[in-house]
Structure 1
Amino acid sequence: MTASLSDIKAKIQSTEKTSKITSAMKMVSSAKLVKAEAAARDFQLYASKIRQITTDLLQTELVTGSDNPMLASREIKKSGYIVITSDRGLVGGYNAKILKAMMDLIRDYHPDGQDYSLIAIGSVGADFFKSRNMPVAFELRGLADQPSFEEVGRIISRSVDMYVNGLFDELYVCYNHHVNSLTSQVRVQQMLPITDLDANEADSERLNSFDLEPNREAILDQLLPQYTESMIYGAIVDAKTAEHAAGMTAMQTATDNAKQIITDLTIQYNRARQANITQEITEIVAGANALE
C-alpha cells in the first residue's frame, strides 16, 4: 500500500509540473494571438485600399473581359496549391484539418496525381506531402510567429511567376481562416487568375482624379502581381493567427485535463491512504484482541 501511495503522489507531482508548462504555453500563445490579430487588422486596411485601386483601374476589363494573363482564364491543365501549416505540433487539430481537406480535394479533383503541384509553407505540411511522394514544387520552413512580407515575399513571387510562366494554370491558397479564438475554417481560395474583383465596386470619378504615370497599362503590369502577392500574404497572416488561436486553445484544454487528472489522483490518493489507515487500525485491534 505504501508503494502505491508513493506512485500516486509521484503522478500528482508530475501532472502538476505538466499543468504549469501547458499553462505557461497557453499564455505565450495568447500573447502571440493578440499580436497576430493586430497584424491581421492592419493588413485588412491595406488590402481594402489596394483592392479599391485595382478595381478602379480594371473597371473596363471587368466588364468586357481581358487578355491579361493575371485576369484571363485558360484551359486548366495543371493546378497549383499553396498549403499553409505550422512548423510544429501542440496546436490541436489545426494541421489535421487543412491536411485532411487537401487530401479530400486531391482525391476528388486530381485522382491521377499528375495534374497538380504543391507549394508547402510549414514543416508539418511539407513532411506530410513528401512522405506520401506528392509533388511538392518548393517549401518554406521556420516561418516567424509574426511573418513580414519580406520573409515570405520570395516564395509568394515565385508562385506567381510559375503561374505567369504557365507551369500551372490556376493558383489556390489553402489554409485555416481565423474566425475567433475557438474557431477556424478551412479555406481554399483562388488567387490566380484574379476573379474576386467586382466591376460594381469601381468608381470612375475617383480614378479620374488621379494622374497616371507612365500609363495605365504599365501600372497594371506592376499592380496585378502586387495585388495577388498581397492577397497571398494576407492568407499567411490569417493562417498564423488561426495557428496561435489553436495553440492557445490546445494548451488551455491540456491544462484543464491536467487539473482534472490531479483531482482524480488526489481522490485516489486519499482513498488509498484511508484504506491504509483502516488496515493499520484493524491490525492493531486484532493484535490487541490476540493478547487478551
Structure 2
Amino acid sequence: MAAGGLKEVDRRIKSVKNTQQITRAMKMVAAAKLRKAELRAKKARDYFEQIQAVTRRAVSKGGAQKLVAPRTVQRKGFVIITSARGLAGPYNANVLRQAVAKMQEVGGKNAAAFAIGRKGRDYLAHRNIPILQEFLGVGDDPTLHQAQAIAREILQQYLGGEVDEVWLTYTKFINPLTHEVRTLRVLPVEEPPAEESGAERSYVFEPDPETVFNDLLPRYVEVVIFSALLESKASEHGARMTAMDSASKNADELIRQMILMRNRLRQAAITREIAELVSGAEALE
C-alpha cells in the first residue's frame, strides 16, 4: 500500500513539474510578444485620438448630413474583440460580460454582433446571439490590411442600412497587470464633447466639412478598429503572461505540498519496517 502510494505521489509530482515547464515557457513567449504589442499600441494612440477629434469636429460643422442621413435606429451592431485562444485568465470573460451587458442595455432584441476572435464567436453562437460577420484570422500581430477589411465590411453594412449604429467593445492596455474593457460608439460619429468646443475655432475645413468627412469616414473606422486590435492584443498578451506566472507559482506550491506528503509516506513506511524488524527479533528470543 505504501509503495503504491509513493509511486502515485511521484507520478503526480512529475506531472505537475511537466505542466510547470509549459506554463513557464508560455509566460516567456507572452512576455516577448507583449513588448512588441505594447509598443505598437502606444504608437497608434496619438493618431487615433487626432483622427477622432478631426472627424468629430467635421460632424459638428455639418459634414455628415448627406453621407449619413438621420434615421431611426432599429438595429445596432456590436464589434466585439476577443482572443483566438484561452489560457489568458479572465481576459475574454471580462470583454464578453461587458459586451453582452451593453447589447442588452442599448440594443435589446435587435442587437447583432461582429465577432473578432474565436472565443467571442463561440460564446455568442452558444447563446444564439445573431452574428453579422466573423473575423477569425487576426493572429498575434494585427495588420492595417486586416483592420481595413474589417472596417470595410462594417461600413458597408452601416451605409447599406443593415445596422443603424455600430458599437465597439475592446480592452485598452494600461500595463501588464491592468487592462480596461471599454465600449464606445463608432457610428454614427459623435460630436465633440462640450469641453472641446473652444478648440473648434482653430479648424478650417477645405474645401468644406462635408468633403473632408466623406474622405475621413473610412479612414476613421479603419483607425478605430486597428487601434482597438492593437490595444486588445497587448492586453491579451499581458493577461496570458500574468495567468501563466500565477499558474507556475501555484505549481510550485502544489509540488511543495506533494513532496511533504511523499516524505511523510516514506517516514511511515520506514517506521513500520523498523517496528516489524523489532517484533521479529523479539519473537525469536
Matches within 5 A, 1:212-291: 212=206, 217-291=210-284
Q: Offset of 1:269 from its aligned partner?
A: 0.5
> Deviation digits for residues 146-167 of structure 1, max 9, x if unmatched?
2011023111111022112222
Distance 2:165 2:235 in 1: 25
What is the rounded CA distance, in whole Å, between the counterparts of 2:188 and 2:231 in structure 1?
A: 21
> 2:197 matched to which residue of 1?
199
Measured in 2, the distance between the counterparts of 1:110 and 1:172 equals: 10
Contact 1:5 1:273 in 2 (8 A): yes
Gaps of 5+ in 1: none
Amino acid in structure 2 at the alignment position of 1:287: G
1:83 and 2:84 correspond:
no
Hey, what does 2:19 align to over in structure 1? 18
Say if 2:170 is the partner of 1:175: yes
Per the alignment, do residues 6 and 22 of structure 1 end up closer, same or farther by CA in structure 2, a change over 3 Å counting?
same
Percent identity of paired positions between Structure 1 and Structure 2: 35
Quickly say closer, same or farther: Cα 1:193–1:52, change in 2 above 3 A: closer
Q: Does 1:32 align with 2:33?
A: yes
Asked if the contact 1:79/1:169 (under 8 Å) is kept, the reply is yes
Please give the alpha-carbon distance, in whole angstroms, between the structure 2 residues aligned to 1:176 and 1:163.
23
Which of 95, 100, 103 is the matching residue for 1:103? 100
Q: Is the 8 A contact 2:23 2:245 kept in 1?
A: yes
Aligned equivalents of 1:22 and 1:237: distance in 2?
24
Do 2:113 and 2:133's aligned partners in 1 also have CA atoms closer than 8 Å? yes
**Contact preservation (8 Å) 1:29, 1:245:** yes
Given that residues 112 and 131 in structure 2 are in contact (C-alpha distance below 8 angstroms), is that contact kept between their aligned partners in structure 1? yes
**SS at structure 2 position matched to 1:202:** helix
Alignment partners' CA distance in 2, 1:180 and 1:6: 44
Which consecutive residues of structure 2, in runs of 5 or more, have no partner in the other structure?
none
Q: Which residue is 1:125 aligned to?
A: 120
Query: Deviations for 1:154-187, whole angstroms, at most 9, x for unmatched residues?
Result: 1111102211222211111012222221122221
Could you tell me how far apart the structure 2 residues matched to 1:244 and 1:165 are?
A: 36
C-alpha distance 110-41 of structure 1, shift in aligned 2 (>3 A): closer
2:147/2:225 contact within 8 Å kept: no
Residue aligning to 1:137: 132
| Alignment partner of 1:187 is 2:185 | no
TM-score (norm 2): 0.90
Question: 1:196 Cα deviation (Å)?
Answer: 5.5
Task: Give the direction of change, closer, same or farther, for the CA distance of 1:170–1:38 in structure 2 (3 Å limit).
Answer: same
C-alpha displacement of 1:131: 2.3
CA–CA separation in structure 1 for the residues paired with 2:141 and 2:201: 34
Question: Which deviations, in whole Å up to 9, do the C-alpha atoms of 1:230-258 show, x marking residues without a partner?
Answer: 11221111111111111111111111111
Contact 1:73/1:193, CA 8 A, preserved across alignment = no
Alignment TM-score, normalising by the size of structure 1: 0.88
Offset from partner CA, 1:111-146 (integer Å, 9 cap, x none): 4x2x12210000111122122222101100021212
The Cα of 1:217 is off from its aligned counterpart by 3.7
Distance 2:100 2:212 in 1: 39
Letter in 1 for 2:232: A
SS at match of 1:105: helix
Between the aligned partners of 2:191 and 2:259, the Cα distance in structure 1 is: 58
